[in-house]
Structure 1
Amino acid sequence: MRVIATAGHVDHGKSTLLTALTGRDPDRLAEEKRRGLTIDLGFVSMRLPDGEDLAFVDVPGHRRYFANTLAGIATAPAVLFVVAADEGWQPQSQEHLAAVDAFGIRRMVVAVTKSDLADPAPVITSTLERLARGGRTDVPAVGVSARSGAGVDRLRELLSDVTTASTEPSDVVRLWIDRVFTMAGSGTVVTGTLGAGTLRTGSQLELSGETVSVRGLHCLGVAVDQVEAPARVAVNLRRIDAREIRRGQALVTPNRWWRTDRIDVRIPTDATPPTEVLVHCGTAAVVARVRPLGDETARLSLSSPLELHNGDRLLLRDTGRGRLLPAVVLDVVAAPFHRRGDAALHAASLTDDRYQPLRSLRIVRHRDLVAMGESPSEDDRHGDWVIDPDHRRTLTDRLAELVDRHGRDHPLDPGMPVSRARQLLRLPDVDLVAAVAGTLHIQRGRLYPADRVGRIPEAVAAAASTFGDAVRARPFHSPTWPRLRELGLSPDLLSRTVSAGLVLRVGDVHLLPDAPQSAVTVLRGLPQPFTVAQAREALDTTRRVVIPLLEYLDDRGLTRLLPDHRRVVVDSDA
């Protein structure tokens, strides 16, 4: 399916032309038929000469219903721009063109209507000249008469050519809702123009932050299981009351859009925005307070949150002075300012050729960056996080300095704990330390320069040697703490020898690393099973040492404790 919206001044024959094209009147309200005036959006369709269906969204031309006009134009991939031959370009023609430009719609067909009342050629020429001044140099145009049918067939051909371009395949859905109603037997139904993505029955979507399920889909009155953009679609939703939904809300793919009530935007450099505007995006129209940031940037505080991406196009309407200002969303996060000068710094970053939130935020969760509408490089991704390349290099250099300083300040333990590195670098996740480690090595939860990995500090090696000399004659006679202090072995220094694997700590006693195997060799020579007293005598030690040592051997399966409190060496046959 293809979709196109109408645009043009009131009474220039938009609805009449659609009736001639489709055989159906897009004005559906009784008030519209009574007054002969389009008030709200209308929807009709036709079969194109190439066999595909084309859906029309007819918009009001009267300025009083301009919000409805914008709701129809904003979501359309193409526009049928209507100008009457007997009146030519009018004020609302200019307003509608401003809206088309603001929303970035490039595909357009011009139909000069009422050609039975006046020669359409001069109006075609003047209209195309206006469009060319705005950069539109290849717009097809035709004079038509809905009354006589002149030019209608040619218009069908032009519509077929202009609407052939399709959107890129995507699973990211944002359907701006333009109608809500209840259908007997089905429940709540919403309609809209699907501009991107694919809708499927059974899909889970979000509506104003709440999860909803797609019960059914219809295109042009036909039930379908799947709809690909662009298309006009009716969506039957499960377990939600129609009274909870309104025009301007959006059905979106979960976790793929940023729901926000504060955004930073780019506006024309020659425009001074008012303090309050009406923001139009999709079918939404919300009031916003405006805070200028720079020459061409401003922060908008929205009265209601919207689902947005960086790069979305908006129309800002100054209702007081009747001005229309195009705007582009630069930053959907729009983090609050805490210090003097923050606003100016942020404004400077927004004026880059293309604002990059990763450069500003430095470290962002991958899912958040995607929800902002960004496509982060996998090279910058580290698990759940994405790090700006420049910031990562800065962190790597900083970490190298910190680890080097830690090694100088702590010669007994030169490795910096990873948890401490995370704190000093203010990283949001300890796993990110590895991402910025550079040439540093992580060993047993500590960071070391490459030339220090596996190296035992001289003071620790000397302490281990001192301990070994003290116990070598009686290896199972662990020195007491007073004796250890006499040897110059402080608790901290001794702890370093244990961490280095040079000394074994068993309970509150210290032994040589090979003490457990040596003990098993001795105990294997005893009659099996043996008592604690027998083990103490055989190992030439004290109860202070033998009890924790035997428990250590039990825990590692080298000995087994029997019900009578005697033990056996596990590989003994006794």
Structure 2
Amino acid sequence: MTGAADARLHGVGGPVPLPSSPVGLTLHVGSAAVPVRVRPLGPGPAGGDPVVRLTPARPLPLRIGDRAVLRDPGAGRIVAGVTVLDPAPPPLRRRGAARRRADELAGAGAVPDADAELARRGTVLADDLVRWGVPAGEVAALAARVPGAAGRLLHPATAASSAAALAAAVAAHDAEDPLDPGLPLAAARRAAGLPDVALVEAVLSAVGGSGLVLRDGRVRAAADTGPPAALRDAAARVRADLDGAPFAAPGAARLAELGLGPRELAVLDRAGELLRVAPEVVLGPDAPERAVAALDGLDGAFTVSAAREVLGSSRRVVVPLLELLARRGLTVRMPDGTHRLR
């Protein structure tokens, strides 16, 4: 159903007289006769038949190419013939939008054309094209050769401009916040000006050389090398501290000295540079394997105290480490509170 439509007026026995008022006319289409508001958008090609926006008093099932009549019930005469060009027009929000819209529709005809509709809209639901009168076979053929997702089709030029906007947004974000590279899908959709998050992946697949990849639910620079160099250097210093005592996690003072706060530790954990076993407890990435090898020397079930002794660590480290080992299926906590290796 259509709440507004853009249409071309045709003269009846002479030139088209533009309505002197936007109200007071009736749109006759099929068996329906509905009061309609008429807004002139601009002249047609070479100053020809004018293009108007029709807003009927109630929604109507209009399609591209539908013919109708505008009638003045007060004067008892037909004002103009009508050809529907677009049964789902965009809103006119900015100064000059009406005239630009008339220019956009200058080449629109009465025969529905899938390629022309997609080119004008940039993206459109395939089902909408069929509902507006485009033959289903023509829509299916178009869908086979243009990008799309979630039932939407995307014009190649729109995909290219969306990819460029997305690349610029990712670059700006990464420059501002290098600890959190890439954009979540929802933010990527907004940056690309797309109506559905599913189209983000379609854009990246369709546009070669965008320099972007979709990974872990985020759109990232394909050349992403991981954490900043200064952060990787800090992680290397932590690992060096742990070389001789792999379970002697650095304390808060050492982490602060290295500039490693919660965000930095989370980034290094995700990158595999360190293993965060608790919010402010970090070990080397191979800590689970080394812990299992050390605990294998204990006879059967063992307590936290026994584990602490064999690992040469503190309760602050050993308790969350044992919890992590259990989550990974490497140990089991017994009913009596002891632990054993699987």
Q: Verify same fold: TM over 0.5.
A: yes
Which of 1 and 2 has greater Rg?
1
Q: Does 1:488 align with 2:248?
A: no
Q: Does 1:333 align with 2:88?
A: yes
In 2, the alpha carbon distance for the partners of 1:549 and 1:471 equals 15
The residue type equivalent to 1:325 in the other structure is A
CA contact (8 A) 2:178 2:227 kept: no
Structure 1 residues 431 and 351, CA gap change in structure 2 (3 angstroms): same
Deviation of 1:384 (Å): 2.6
Matched with 2:162 is: 395
Alignment of 1:36-75 (within 5 A): none
In 2, the alpha carbon distance for the partners of 1:459 and 1:310 equals 60
The residue type equivalent to 2:133 in the other structure is G
Matched with 2:52 is: 298
In 2, the alpha carbon distance for the partners of 1:424 and 1:403 equals 9
Secondary structure of residue in 1 paired with 2:4: strand
In 2, the alpha carbon distance for the partners of 1:339 and 1:539 equals 69
In 1, the alpha carbon distance for the partners of 2:231 and 2:258 equals 13
Matched with 1:381 is: 148
Deviation of 1:512 (Å): 0.9
The residue type equivalent to 1:339 in the other structure is R
Structure 1 residues 369 and 463, CA gap change in structure 2 (3 angstroms): farther
Equivalent residue pairs, number: 311
The residue type equivalent to 1:392 in the other structure is A
Structure 1 residues 324 and 488, CA gap change in structure 2 (3 angstroms): closer
Question: Please, which of 278, 288, 299 is the counterpart of residue 36 of structure 2?
Answer: 288
Secondary structure of residue in 1 paired with 2:42: coil
Deviation of 1:359 (Å): 4.0
Q: Does 1:352 align with 2:112?
A: no
Deviation of 1:371 (Å): 2.4
CA contact (8 A) 1:463 1:494 kept: no
CA contact (8 A) 1:418 1:445 kept: yes
Alignment of 1:314-463 (within 5 A): 314-319=68-73, 320=75, 322-323=77-78, 325-354=80-109, 356-374=116-134, 376=139, 377-378=142-143, 379-437=146-204, 438=207, 439=210, 440-450=212-222, 452-453=223-224, 457-463=228-234
Worse-matched range after superposition: 413-422 or 559-568 = 413-422
In 2, the alpha carbon distance for the partners of 1:510 and 1:414 equals 22
**Residue segments in structure 2 that go unaligned for 5+ positions in a row:** 44-49
In 1, the alpha carbon distance for the partners of 2:119 and 2:200 equals 19
In 1, the alpha carbon distance for the partners of 2:167 and 2:130 equals 31
Alignment of 1:90-109 (within 5 A): none
Secondary structure of residue in 1 paired with 2:53: strand
Secondary structure of residue in 2 paired with 1:261: coil
In 2, the alpha carbon distance for the partners of 1:353 and 1:487 equals 65
TM, length-normalised to structure 2:
0.82
Secondary structure of residue in 1 paired with 2:250: coil
Alignment of 1:484-563 (within 5 A): 484-508=255-279, 509-563=281-335
In 1, the alpha carbon distance for the partners of 2:260 and 2:40 equals 66
The residue type equivalent to 2:33 in the other structure is A
Greater per-residue strand proportion? 1
Secondary structure of residue in 2 paired with 1:298: strand
Deviation of 1:362 (Å): 3.0
Alignment of 1:463-478 (within 5 A): 463-478=234-249
Question: Please, which of 267, 275, 279 is the counterpart of residue 9 of structure 2?
Answer: 267
CA contact (8 A) 1:366 1:384 kept: yes
CA shift digits 1:423-461 (9 cap, x unpaired): 3234332222222233321121233333x1455542332
Worse-matched range after superposition: 462-471 or 277-286 = 277-286
Secondary structure of residue in 2 paired with 1:305: coil
